[in-house]
């Protein structure tokens, strides 16, 4: 964390993303994404000096009064979630003030005929719109922003933030067109109806494919978007942790059984790669005549790894609930592979693998991946207890409250 943060400070301070190879920066929304995503990580890791420098930037430089389009989902989980989490961890009202300012500026996204929010909002002009190519929004995005807006209402005692996101959930629950409890990937912002032009979203029913037993520990599972594809996205590897969390909160035993098997598959997505790092997508060889169970289509850009957090996220949950040290061991192996194959030093000129590293450090590497690894290795099992905190989609912890605001 210190290594990555120092490079961000030296070459990308106040910008969205570090470009470590060219020692420069990239912008997405112009909101200091990496800095804000890292605030609660630095606080948790007790990097007080680094935190104070970042806090000073938030106080003096962070402004949302700018004519720029931002993605509602990404801005909510990264910036709004990061500010709210840091407020709760530190008690500093500066972060709540900034969060309320941003949340208010995001509200125009919900002014649609259906109350399903647009994907993009101009936080300076107070206008919102869908992408240029469609009037649809992504189901996963519009149903993953409730936590932060409800928290805004709880803290401000102003109900409008919670009301708009509750309307989304109410509509989705009422809609017909679900198959085996699954919903399509897209929903139309004008009609409020599902758009059936992509694979079904969500898991555990007809989308769950049982793989062959040649992978270790017998009968591992993988989750694919449709029955005709023998592949799994790394993003799916959040699911073991989700299942384990559900089991911890009273769901049936088979949720944990499934979590254990899916966790093994996600582990193998790292273990069977030469670098020990998983790509974004792996493909499964159901015949495995060549002895390889998992393979990568290296010519696809989506099959290149980008330091994603989902597997270490689930390892954290699995270790917290089972105390099985193998999950720590797996996480340690991943961390060593990060150091061996992705760490960029000031004197680097050649790299151990081809293609070489991508010139981009995602904000979620500091906000999620390193945070979950630290929590996985922490001996303090009550540090951000999962009975007291819930982590948002970007790994920003928020307190669990006994009831929602009226």
Residues belonging to the binding site for Ca(2+) are 393
* C-alpha–C-alpha distance, residues 278 and 334, integer Å: 9
What are φ and ψ of residue 397, in 5° steps? -75, 135
Neighbours of 301 (CB within 10 A): 8
End-to-end CA distance of the chain: 40
Rg of the chain taking only CA atoms, in angstroms: 21
CA–CA distances in Å: residue 4 to residues 1, 339, 363: 5, 11, 10
Compute the distance between CA of residue 156 and CA of residue 241 in angstroms, rounded to an integer. Answer: 31
Angstrom CA distances, 358 to 96, 297, 399, stand at 35, 17, 36
CA distance 188 to 195: 6
């Amino acid at each position: 964390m210190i290594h990555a943060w120092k490079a961000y400070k030296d070459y990308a301070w106040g910008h969205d993303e570090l470009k470590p190879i060219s020692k420069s920066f990239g912008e997405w929304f112009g909101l200091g994404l990496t800095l804000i995503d890292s605030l609660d990580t630095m606080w948790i890791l007790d990097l007080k000096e680094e935190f104070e420098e970042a806090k000073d930037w938030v106080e003096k430089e962070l402004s949302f009064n700018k004519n720029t389009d931002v993605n509602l989902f990404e801005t909510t989980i990264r910036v709004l979630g990061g500010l709210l989490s840091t407020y709760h961890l530190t008690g500093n009202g500066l972060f709540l003030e900034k969060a309320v300012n941003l949340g208010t500026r995001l509200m125009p996204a919900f002014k649609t005929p259906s109350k399903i929010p647009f994907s993009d909002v101009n936080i300076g002009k107070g206008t919102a719109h869908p992408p240029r190519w469609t009037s649809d929004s992504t189901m996963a995005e519009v149903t993953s922003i409730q936590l932060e807006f409800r928290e805004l209402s709880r803290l401000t005692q102003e109900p409008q933030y919670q009301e708009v996101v509750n309307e989304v959930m109410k509509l989705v629950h009422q809609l017909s067109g679900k198959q085996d409890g699954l919903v399509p990937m897209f929903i139309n912002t004008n009609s409020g109806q599902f758009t059936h032009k992509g694979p079904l979203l969500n898991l555990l029913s007809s989308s769950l494919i049982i793989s062959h037993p040649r992978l270790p520990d017998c009968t591992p599972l993988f989750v694919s978007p449709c029955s005709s594809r023998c592949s799994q996205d790394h993003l799916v590897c959040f699911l073991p942790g989700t299942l384990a969390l559900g089991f911890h909160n009273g769901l049936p035993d088979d949720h944990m059984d499934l979590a254990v098997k899916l966790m093994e598959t996600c582990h193998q997505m790292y273990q069977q790669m030469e670098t020990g790092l998983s790509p974004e997508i792996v493909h499964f060889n159901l015949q495995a005549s060549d002895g390889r169970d998992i393979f990568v289509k290296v010519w696809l850009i989506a099959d290149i790894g980008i330091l994603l957090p989902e597997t270490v996220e689930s390892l954290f949950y699995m270790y917290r609930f089972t105390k099985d040290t193998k999950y720590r061991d797996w996480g340690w192996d991943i961390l060593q592979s990060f150091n061996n194959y992705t760490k960029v030093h000031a004197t680097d000129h050649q790299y151990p693998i081809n293609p070489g590293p991508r010139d981009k450090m995602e904000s979620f590497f500091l906000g999620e991946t390193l945070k979950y690894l630290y929590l996985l290795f922490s001996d303090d099992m009550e540090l951000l207890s999962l009975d007291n905190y819930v982590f948002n989609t970007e790994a920003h912890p928020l307190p669990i409250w006994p009831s929602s605001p009226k």
